[in-house]
Structure 1
C-alpha cells in the first residue's frame, strides 16, 4: 500500500464547499432494474467509464473479493456516463475496500448523491444508491469520489442499473479531457474581484476650458463585409465600402458577412481643438460580438462580448484635426456562442449595435464612482458611501488633489484630499456621510437626487461630474426580498431588445416607450433577457419607476437549446473566463442604477463548479445586491444545486406556488405564463386564442401574490421577436409579446394590466341607493390609496372620491348619489401618482338586461318538395335546402340573400408546435370543417308554423345528424348530435354557416372577463368589427410601420377584429350595408367566430371552445379541455335570426 500512500504528495486532497442538497435512499431494490454498466475498478480494460484515477491492487494481507481488491484512487476519482435516459430510474452499486480508515463522499454534478461514509480498514463495504434525477438531468452522469479524511479517495467496484435497458456510453475525447482538467468544486473564496472589474471612467459633466467634453460618434459610417486585411491603414475608397448606420446591425441593413469572417467599419471625426492636453476615452456600449479597434492606423484595443460596454484609451493615437477610426467586427465568436445571440435571433446580430462616445477628461480624473446607500434599521436615515477612484494619467506628480461631493437638495458636502498622486497611480477610497431622512427611491416613488463631484487642485476645479441616484436598500431576509424594508412582489415581464427593422438595436425613444408601456400595464419589474440592456433603458427605469433584474449575456451553457453542447463539454474551464468577464462588465457598468435590484448570472444554463467560482466574484463585486442564476430550483431538469440567494424556476405550472411556499430562499419565476406563439396556425386563423391567455395568468398571479415565498415573476415575453430582413425574409421566435415589435398593444397587454393591477375592486354588483359602498383592496407595496385620484361616474353625475387604504390592506369608498334611478352602472377609474390610469371598473347597479333582442313573431310557413331540394316560403321569405346534402342553398328575406350554406360540423383539433425560432410569415391556416359528409336519411315535415328538416349522415370524423326548424318569421334553429368515429382533442366544436360576402360586419354582445375594455380590444363585451377596415393599404408591407391598431391588421380571413372568437355570447351576428342581418341568439354559453372563406363569409356558432395548444400553457388549460374518444357525443342547439 506504499504506492497508494505516496500518491498523496502528487494528488491534492480536494475539499468541496457546497450545501447538502439531497440525501439518497440506500439499499434500494434492483429487481426491476437492468444492469447497464459495470466497472471492475483498477483493472485496465474493465473500467470503461473511468475518467480520472490511478489503479492499485491491495496487498495479500487485506481480505476481500478479487474484484474488491483492485481499486482506483486519487484526491478525486471520476467516472462519467453519457447517453443517460433522463426519464429512467437509475441505481448505483458501489463497493469499497480500504487499507486504512478514510472518509469520502460521492458528488454528481454538484449534488451530493452519497453523503460522507467512513471506510473501515480491511472491510469490504457495499452500497446501493438510488440516484436523484437531477444527478443526470442532461443525459450525463459524472460521479466524483471525493476524500474528506484520510490519504485519498478510492472505489473498488462500480455498477449501474436502470429501468431502461439501453446502455450508457463512456466520455471520450474533449469531453473526457475537460473532466480530467476540472477541479471539481474546489472553490477559491479569497478572490479579488477588483482585478476583474473593467474601468469605465465617469463621463464628465464639464471640464473647464473645454466647450463640450463629449462627442457622439453615432451616425453614418462606412462598411465593407469582406475588407482587405490592412483596410485600417487607409481611407475606404473601393466600391465595397458603403454607408451603414451606427448603432445598427449589418444584417438589418442588407449586408451579409461570412459567419467566420470579419466586417470592416470606418469613420472619421474632427478632434475639438480645446481637447488638446486632455486624456481622451473611446467607449463602445456594445459591439457584437468580437472586434479590434484602430485609430489612425494604430491598434488601440480589442474586445470580446456583444452586449457589454468597453472603453479604450485613445489619447496616444489621436492627432489634431481629422482622425480615422476603424474596426473589424465578427458576429459569430465565443461570446456569441456562450450568449446564444445569433442562434436566438435567427440571424446575425453583428455590428456596432450600441452608441459610440468619445469624451475628454483631465489628466487627473475620476476613473470610478460607486454609490452605496445603506438605510438604518427604521429605513429612514441613510449612510451614504461613495467609492471614488482618481487616476493620474499624466507624466507629473500631482499634489493636493481635492474632491468635493455634494447632493442637490440635501445639506450634504463631503470633502476628500489626496496629498500626492504619482504618474500612473490611482487613488481609491470611500467618502462617507450621514443623510437624515432623504426621500427614498422605490418603483412607486422614483425619487432621484443629483450627485455632483468636483475634482481639482489649489481651488481650481478641473473636472465636474453629475450622477443621478436614489436612496434605496435591497436585502434578502428568509424567503423574501426587501426593498427599503418592504417585501416586494414583482409583477414582471422579460424584455428583449427587438424591433422589426433594426433587430436588437433600439433608440432611446423606444427604450423610454417600452418602460412607459410596461408601467402603464401595471408591471413593476423588467428582466433584461438574456443580456444587459442599453444604458438608456435603465435611465428611464430609474426615472419612471421600475425594478430591474439585469442579466449577464450568458445563455444556454450546457442547455440542449444550444446545439453546440452536443459535441462540446460545458464544464470545460476554457469557457468561463468569458463568463466571468461578462458578469464583471455587467455589474461594473450598471451598478449605480437604483432600479437594478438584483443581477442574473446566466439564462437557462447548467450550474457547475465553474459557475460556482464565478458566483464568488459576483458576490464580492457587488455586496449591496443579491443575484440569481436561471436554472431550475427543483425538479429533475436543470437542477444542479445552484446556490444563488434568489432561487429561480422557469415555467413552474399552475401549482408552482406550493413548492415556492416551502422554499428557504425567495423564489422568482424567471419565466412563466409564456404567451401563445408555437401554436402558429391557430394564431393566424383565430386571434381570439390570445385572449384565452388570461385564463392561465389570472389564477397563477393570484396564487403568486398570496404566497410569501414567491418573489414574483417575469412573463415570457415582453415584445414580439420578429425581424423583417431587407431581403424579405421574416425570422425570429415569433409574436410572443403583449406588445408587438411596433409597440402596439395586443390583446394580452390589457389582460396583463388587469391581472397585475394593484387595485382590486371586490364589489361585483350594487343595488340602487343614495350611498354606494365599494370594497377595495390595495396591492401596492408603498402607495396608500390616498395618493391615487379615484374618479367616478354614475349617469350624468361624476366626482372624485378620497380614501386612505394602506398597502396590503382592504377598505371601502362611499359615493353619494343624488338620483340612484338614472343609471344602471357605476364607473370607477384609478390614476396612479405617477400619472397613468392604473385601472378602471364598471360595477352593475340594479337589474341588468343582457339579451336585448326582441322576440320574433312566428309567421305562416309553407313547404314545397322537389326532386333536388326543399323550398320553404312565407311572406317575403324563401329558404331552399338541398335534399342531397341537407344543407341550405339559399335563404332570402325581402329578396336579399342572407344565408347560402351550412350547417357543417366543425370539430377543430388543437394544433400546436415545438419551441423553435421558426417564425414564418406564410404559416398555413387551420380552419377545416369536418370532411366527406354523406346523408343517409333526410325528411322534411310541417310542425305547426315551422318546417322541420331531419337529417342523418356521417362525416369521415363523426356520424349523427341534426334537425332544422325554419320559420318564415325569420327564426331558424338547429339541434345537432354527432358521435366521434376517432379520438380527437378539439379546440372548438359547433356548426358553421355561410353568408354572402356583403355581410362584412360582425357585431356581438357577450360576457367579458373584465368589466371594462379598450375600444379596440378584440374581447370587448359589446361591439362591431369590419371584415376589412377602410383607410388601410390593400397589402400590409411588414417593413412599414403601421399607423393603426393591432386589431385592424388582417390576412386572407379578414381583420383580427372580425375573425376572433367571441366567447360567451348573448348574441352575435353579421350585417350587410343594407341593414339585413343574421344573428345567433344565445344565453351566454355559446361562442362566435366569423371569417372570409374565398368569396363568402362563414361563421361558427360553437358549443365548446377551449384555449389554444401552446405547449407552455397546456398544464394551465388542462381543466378546460374536452378530449373526445371514439363514440363520445357532441351536440347542442343553435338559434339564428334573419332580419
Structure 2
C-alpha cells in the first residue's frame, strides 16, 4: 500500500527552533494549521517555498512531515511493515502518537515493524521528523548538493504474522565448463506465534520455481521443515539446477523469474518473487571475469539526481539515463557515492548494465579513526547489501569513496565478505600493493596513462580506475586523454577499465526571483563549496530560472544536467565503442581489387555478426560508392572489412577515404570511423594559373608595403610589422592579422591560474594588445623568385606580461605566403593555451571548408569522436566554430567568392570579433585537452612557460579561388 502523495510539511531553521515549535507535532492535539502541502517523495530544497539547496554541507534546518491514511481492515492480525525507500539524512517516526524508532542513514532503505501501532480499519496519523545534522551525517555528504527530505517512496507491506518469508538471498554459479548452472536459494523463514520455547512448529513446505517467458525451467520443494520455539527463524536452502542457462551479462541481459512459496497448515500463506540473472563474478588469476570470461568496463560515475526533482528520481529519469548511456557504448555505472533508487538498479538488470554499487561513507570515510562512528558504517553496509544482493547487474561492491583505511574499514570489509562472498570488493582511490586481502580490486583515481601502464603490467589484482577522466566544465579544451588512459589500462589482462567522472552535471533548476546570478568562473570568489548562492551554468525560462551546478564544483558531466549531450559525450561514445578500427590510414597500390580494413571485435560476449557495417567511399567531398557488410568474429578477434577499390584512381588530384558506420541490430549507430586510403601527400585545391612565373613585385607606400605575386596581393604595415590585408584576384579576404598567445581559458585551465599571486582577467589576458615594431627588413631574391620580410614585434600588456614575435614572411612567385613565426612569451602565467596568428575576416564570410578530422571539434588528446573527411559548413553552423586539430588544410570563403586557404597549421578555429565580424585563428602551437585539474600529460601537448622560452612554427597561405 503506497503512502506516496500529498503530505503536510513545516520547517524549523535549527534544532532549537524545532524543539521549541514542533516538540509535540506528532500528537493528535497539535495545531498543524501552519503546515503546507508537500509532495512525497521530494526534497524540500527543490521547492523554493521552504529552503535553499546547499552544496556539500547541509543547513541546520529540520523538516516535519504529517500524513493521515486509512489502514484497511485486512491488516488485522497481520505482520505490518512501514517502509521508507530513502530519507535524507535522519528520520524519527511516530505512528498514532507513539514513537516507533529513528533511522540515521540518508541513502539506504529501512523499515519499521508497526504491527502493534497501526489501527486497521481506521484513520492513522504518521509523523516524521527529518534531521540533516546527526552524528553520522558526513557519511551522506559528498561533492554534490545536500538534498534533505523524504525523497523516495513510502509504503506499507503486510505478511502473515505466524509464519512468513522474511528474506531470500539468491546465488548463482556455473560448473567448471560454464555449461550448466545452479541457483542457490537461501530463504529465512520466521515464526512468530505463541509456543513453548522448545516446541517445534507444525511442518511447513517451501517451494522454489524458476521460469523464463512463462516456461518452468526448474522447481524444488523443501518439505517437512519445522521451527523450534515460537519466536525463531530458520534458514532454508534450496538448490535449482539449470541446464544450458541463458546467462546474464551487460551484453546479454537475460532474466529469469524466481518464485518462492510458503505452505503452512496445508495452505499457501506467503509468496516472495523476483527477477534474477544467472551469472557469476570472479577475479581468478588477477582478472575481472563475468561467467568465466574477462570483461572490460566502459564506465561512468552517476549521481541519482535530476535538475527538476533533485534526488526524487523516477522511472523516466532512470530510463533516459540508461538509454543515453547504452547509446554511448557505456556498459558500467558506478553508483557514486551511495546506492541509488532500487528501480534504477532493477532497470540495469533489465537493460544490461554492470553496476559498481557503493556503500555510502561520503566525507565521513575520512573520520573512521573515531570508534563511535562504527555503528553508522555497519548500518549502511548492512542495508545496502541486503536490499540489492540479488541484483545480477551489481558485480562489485565499492566500500566508501576516497580516503584512508582504518580498523573500522577492515571490520566492515570482513562483514561485507560475510554478507556476500559472491562479489569482489574494492576501495575507491586505493591501489596500494599492501592492501588487505579482503580488497580484491585495485582502484586508483586520476592516474596518467603511463602510470596505469606500469601498475597494470605488474599487478596481481584486477584494476578498475573508479575515477580516471574528469569532464570539468562545458568547454572544448578539457576531458583530455580519455582514449590514451582507457586503451593503455585495458591493454593489460588485469586492466578491467574505469569510470569517467561524471555522467551528468550536478545541476538543479533554481528560480532567480530577482537575486544575483553568479558566473561559475568569473565570480568564483563570491561563492563557496558549501553555499546556496545562485551560480548559473545555464540561464533558462527567459531568465526566470537557472540550471545551477555550483560552478567549479559540480559542472563535471559528459551530458548537461538536463541530459543534453556535451562534446565529451561523443568522445566517450567513440572511445568506448566495442568495435575497434585498427587503422586510420591504409596503404594502396594501383590495380588493387579491394581495400582490406582490420576491425577488432571488442565485445566480451557477442560475435561481430551482431552489427552491420555501412560504408561509403569518397573522392574528396563526393561519395562515389557505398555498400553494407557483415563480419563474423568471436570476442577479441580481428576480421577484415573488404571494400571494392575499382573506382580509386588519379591519386595525384584527389583524396580518397572510406567512411564506415557500425550499426546495431536496431539500426542505431554504435560508432563511425573513416579510413584514409594511401600515404601519398595531400593534393591541394588548384591554385590560379601563373602563365609566366616571375619574381613578386614590391610596392612601397607610406607605412605600407605590398607584395604582388600572380593573383595574390599581400599588404604589410611597416609601422607594426603585421599583415594589414590580403587580396586574391582583386578580392579582399582579410583586413589584417595579429599575434595570438592566449584565449579565454576553460575551467580546468583556469583553476591553477586563479591560485597565482597576481591576478588578471583570464578571459581578456594578452588580448587586443597594440604592437610595437622593434625591427623591419625586406629583401628581394631574384634567383629564388621570392620576397622575404622579417619583422620583430613586441606586444606589451604591462611590465610582467610581454610577448615578442619575429615574423618571417616569404612570398613566392606562385603567390604562396609562408609565415614562419618565433614567439618569446614572458608572462605571469604557467602556460599558454595556444599561439599563432589571428586573421580578421570581416562580416562577409559564409563558409568554412577543411580537409582533416571532423565534423566535431578536436584538440590533441581529444580526437576519438572525429573522423577524416572533406568538411564544409556554413559559418552560421555550430560545427564551423569548433577547434580543428591538425587539418591538412582549411579555407574560409566570402559571399563574393574570395577565399583564404591555409595549410600546415597545427590547428585552426573560426571565431568572432567585437564588431560582429569573423576571425580565423591559425595556430602554430596548441595545448592539448586538460585532465581534471591538471595539464595534458604528454609534454608535447603542453605549452609550459617554465620549460619552453621560445615557440617556433610555420604555415602557408595559398591563393585559391
Relative to the length of structure 1, the TM-score reads 0.68
| Paired position in structure 1 for 2:300 | 493
| Paired position in structure 2 for 1:807 | 635
Pairing 1:713–2:507 present: no
| Paired position in structure 1 for 2:927 | 1106
Q: Distance in 1 between matches of 2:404 and 2:437?
A: 9
Q: Per-residue deviation at 1:451? A: 0.9
Pairing 1:884–2:729 present: no
Q: Per-residue deviation at 1:1101? A: 0.4
Q: Secondary structure at the match of 1:786?
A: helix
| Paired position in structure 1 for 2:822 | 977
Q: Distance in 2 between matches of 1:249 and 1:663?
A: 44
1:813-832 alignment runs, 5 A limit: 813-814=641-642, 824-832=656-664
- What per-residue deviation string (whole Å, max 9, x for no partner) do you get for residues 952-1003 of structure 1? 3322323343255689999765443333456863221101122324537644
- What per-residue deviation string (whole Å, max 9, x for no partner) do you get for residues 588-617 of structure 1? 111000111121111112101121111111
Moved more, 1091-1100 or 348-357: 1091-1100
Q: 1:621 aligns with which of 419, 427, 444?
A: 419
What RMSD over aligned residues (CA atoms) do the two structures have, in Å?
A: 4.2
Q: 1:300 aligns with which of 92, 95, 100?
A: 100
Pairing 1:352–2:352 present: no
| Contact 2:725–2:734 (8 Å) recurs in 1 | yes
Q: Secondary structure at the match of 2:26?
A: helix
- Report the CA distance shift for 1:658/1:411 in structure 2 as closer, same or farther (over 3 A): same
Q: Distance in 1 between matches of 2:710 and 2:444?
A: 67
| Paired position in structure 1 for 2:530 | none
Unaligned runs of 5+ in 2: 53-57, 513-533, 536-547, 618-622, 797-801
| Paired position in structure 1 for 2:596 | 773
- What per-residue deviation string (whole Å, max 9, x for no partner) do you get for residues 455-481 of structure 1? 344554333333100111122223122
Q: Distance in 2 between matches of 1:235 and 1:938?
A: 93
1:685-1084 alignment runs, 5 A limit: 687-690=475-478, 693=480, 696-727=481-512, 728-729=534-535, 730=548, 731=550, 733-763=553-583, 764-765=585-586, 767=588, 769-793=592-616, 800-814=628-642, 824-832=656-664, 836-845=668-677, 853-857=685-689, 867=702, 882-887=717-722, 898-906=733-741, 912-914=749-751, 925=763, 928-929=766-767, 931=769, 933-938=771-776, 951-956=791-796, 957-962=802-807, 974-981=819-826, 985-999=831-845, 1002-1007=848-853, 1022-1023=870-871, 1057-1072=879-894, 1074-1076=895-897, 1078-1083=899-904
| Contact 1:1080–1:1136 (8 Å) recurs in 2 | yes
1:332-481 alignment runs, 5 A limit: 332-341=133-142, 344-345=143-144, 347-363=145-161, 364-392=163-191, 399-408=202-211, 409-417=215-223, 418-419=225-226, 424-458=231-265, 460-481=267-288
- What per-residue deviation string (whole Å, max 9, x for no partner) do you get for residues 745-788 of structure 1? 22222222222222223354364654443333222222222344
- Report the CA distance shift for 1:793/1:854 in structure 2 as closer, same or farther (over 3 A): closer
- Report the CA distance shift for 1:225/1:855 in structure 2 as closer, same or farther (over 3 A): farther
Q: Distance in 2 between matches of 1:808 and 1:648?
A: 24
| Paired position in structure 2 for 1:65 | none
| Paired position in structure 1 for 2:527 | none
Q: Secondary structure at the match of 1:512?
A: helix
Pairing 1:553–2:351 present: no
Q: Secondary structure at the match of 2:412?
A: helix
Q: Distance in 1 between matches of 2:391 and 2:484?
A: 33
Q: Distance in 1 between matches of 2:240 and 2:821?
A: 80
| Contact 1:474–1:625 (8 Å) recurs in 2 | yes
Moved more, 1005-1014 or 614-623: 1005-1014
Q: Distance in 2 between matches of 1:388 and 1:746?
A: 47
| Contact 2:477–2:930 (8 Å) recurs in 1 | no
Q: Per-residue deviation at 1:1007? A: 3.4
Q: 1:585 aligns with which of 373, 380, 383?
A: 383
Moved more, 985-994 or 898-907: 898-907
Q: Distance in 2 between matches of 1:942 and 1:325?
A: 94
- Higher-Rg structure is 1
Q: Per-residue deviation at 1:800? A: 4.8
Relative to the length of structure 2, the TM-score reads 0.80
Q: Distance in 2 between matches of 1:370 and 1:286?
A: 22
Pairing 1:510–2:324 present: no
Q: Per-residue deviation at 1:1098? A: 2.8
| Contact 2:189–2:236 (8 Å) recurs in 1 | no
- Report the CA distance shift for 1:1118/1:276 in structure 2 as closer, same or farther (over 3 A): farther
Q: Distance in 2 between matches of 1:708 and 1:1016?
A: 23
Q: 2:60 aligns with which of 239, 260, 280?
A: 260
Q: Distance in 2 between matches of 1:809 and 1:253?
A: 54
- Report the CA distance shift for 1:819/1:641 in structure 2 as closer, same or farther (over 3 A): same
- What per-residue deviation string (whole Å, max 9, x for no partner) do you get for residues 128-151 of structure 1? xxxxxxxxxxxxxxxxxxxxxxxx
Q: Distance in 1 between matches of 2:642 and 2:218?
A: 46
Q: Distance in 1 between matches of 2:280 and 2:416?
A: 18
Q: Distance in 2 between matches of 1:585 and 1:455?
A: 25
Pairing 1:604–2:402 present: yes
Moved more, 923-932 or 1091-1100: 923-932
- Report the CA distance shift for 1:790/1:231 in structure 2 as closer, same or farther (over 3 A): same
Q: Per-residue deviation at 1:508? A: 1.8
| Paired position in structure 2 for 1:1132 | 954
- Report the CA distance shift for 1:540/1:534 in structure 2 as closer, same or farther (over 3 A): same
Q: Per-residue deviation at 1:256? A: 1.9
Unaligned runs of 5+ in 1: 1-213, 560-568, 1030-1047, 1049-1056
| Paired position in structure 1 for 2:40 | 246
State the number of aligned residues.
870
Moved more, 1091-1100 or 362-371: 1091-1100
Q: Per-residue deviation at 1:1005? A: 2.9
Q: Secondary structure at the match of 1:884?
A: coil
Q: Distance in 1 between matches of 2:3 and 2:151?
A: 14
| Contact 1:988–1:1104 (8 Å) recurs in 2 | yes
Q: Distance in 2 between matches of 1:242 and 1:410?
A: 52
- Report the CA distance shift for 1:980/1:502 in structure 2 as closer, same or farther (over 3 A): same
Q: Per-residue deviation at 1:1015? A: 15
- Report the CA distance shift for 1:558/1:624 in structure 2 as closer, same or farther (over 3 A): closer
| Contact 1:279–1:393 (8 Å) recurs in 2 | no
Q: Per-residue deviation at 1:632? A: 2.4
- What per-residue deviation string (whole Å, max 9, x for no partner) do you get for residues 319-378 of structure 1? 53544433221223333313433xx21x43112222223333333432201111122111
- Report the CA distance shift for 1:762/1:1138 in structure 2 as closer, same or farther (over 3 A): closer
| Paired position in structure 1 for 2:449 | 654
Moved more, 1087-1096 or 531-540: 1087-1096
Q: Secondary structure at the match of 1:611?
A: helix
Q: Distance in 2 between matches of 1:608 and 1:835?
A: 51
| Paired position in structure 2 for 1:126 | none
Q: Secondary structure at the match of 2:127?
A: strand
| Paired position in structure 2 for 1:668 | 464
Q: Distance in 1 between matches of 2:913 and 2:272?
A: 63
Q: Distance in 2 between matches of 1:917 and 1:217?
A: 47
- Report the CA distance shift for 1:959/1:762 in structure 2 as closer, same or farther (over 3 A): closer
